[in-house]
Chain A
């Protein structure tokens, strides 16, 4: 008779056992803050469709201290999500070969950030242009 009795270890609390997993869970968790912000914006769009009074009410609500604190929390969480998302960029992108040399991972991360910064600045300029 076989004396084999392979022991399967529990996965309970696996994500607390390694700082790498903790970072992963925070990264995944901060995606919820992006959902929250998209709900705020969608709600604003609904208020805009309901007319001027509703829209101005929403704008006022956005200026409340509670709303500003909420937005600062969102900003930090979404920035963290972006930071860790770009860190994963080299893992998820197929190799980019230029002149027979594989693009190194640091450059892939930096190009992601460059695109983000350019898109952010362009958006600001457009919005400011419209507002002016």
Chain B
């Protein structure tokens, strides 16, 4: 039997009832090579301090709940492995650019509002009745947006985006990617309505093409690309209205 390995995990704790500001606390966690950082955090809660608060659910990078800053990088803690950091200390902190609610839990209400604002559902071009049958879509039309459907709302891209941190009103990469997903759907006719958000002060032009959002995305959605394509779309929408009375810009 090999010796039990121990890793130091430094957690940025914040208890709003007693702490004025977040403070680091170090735990010595025994681990095996198959343990994720999330399991390390669970070990702390089960064995050292039951008050440690964090979100998690599926443990397999599908639910998007367990995102946190691991050594300053936004990651899903269920797919980051302790063995990859050992023997150095792991520092974990709540996702960046969001207010900390408690310990590793952030306040996502701003993100949820942004998500609602972009109307993330199909707004049919021509509404059809049940009798008229289904909306038809070709595989090529499906391919136009499939990539952007993979978003799991984990908000790692928000934690990666300094513009979100500097201007919390910025709609941000994740919601923009979802907006693009519906705009690109051949069954959808809501682009003009969504353009009001895309081209607004909170919209695409807050993006300065840092590109880190796409880098950290665990689902390869490439939200940065969605934002930048919509800069072109918003530009076209603005200038083309001089040629045509259509377009959402007001």
Contact = CB atoms under 8 A, between A and B. Distances in A.
Interface of A: 3-9, 11, 14-15, 17-18, 20-21, 24, 28, 88, 90-95, 100
Contact of A91 (B73, B143, B225): B225
Interface stretch (B37-45, B58-66, B99-107): B99-107
Interface residues of B, number: 30
Interface string B7-40: 0000000101100011000000000000000000
Contacts, number: 62
A121 to B, nearest CB: 29
6 contacts: A3-B17, A9-B22, A11-B162, A91-B209, A91-B225, A94-B229
Contacts of A17: 72
A91 B212 contact: no
B101 A6 contact: yes
Contacts of B215: 20
A31 B72 CA distance: 28
Nearest to B166: A11
B122 interface: no
B248 interface: no
Nearest to B228: A92
Given A6-B99, A9-B96, A14-B165, A91 B214 contact: yes
Interface of B: 14, 16-17, 21-22, 72-73, 96, 99-101, 107, 140, 143, 162, 165-166, 208-212, 214-215, 222, 224-225, 228-229, 232
B107 A6 contact: yes
Q: Which of A7, A15, A92 neighbours the largest number of chain B CB atoms within 10 Å of its CB?
A: A7
Nearest to B12: A9
B22 A7 contact: yes
Contacts of B22: 7, 9
Contacts of B224: 91
Contacts of B96: 9
A124 B51 CA distance: 69
A6 B100 contact: yes
B73 A18 contact: yes
A37 B232 CA distance: 29
A90 B162 contact: no
A7 B165 contact: no
A11 B73 contact: no
Contact of B165 (A3, A4, A6, A11): A11
Given A18-B73, A91-B224, A100-B140, A4 B16 contact: yes
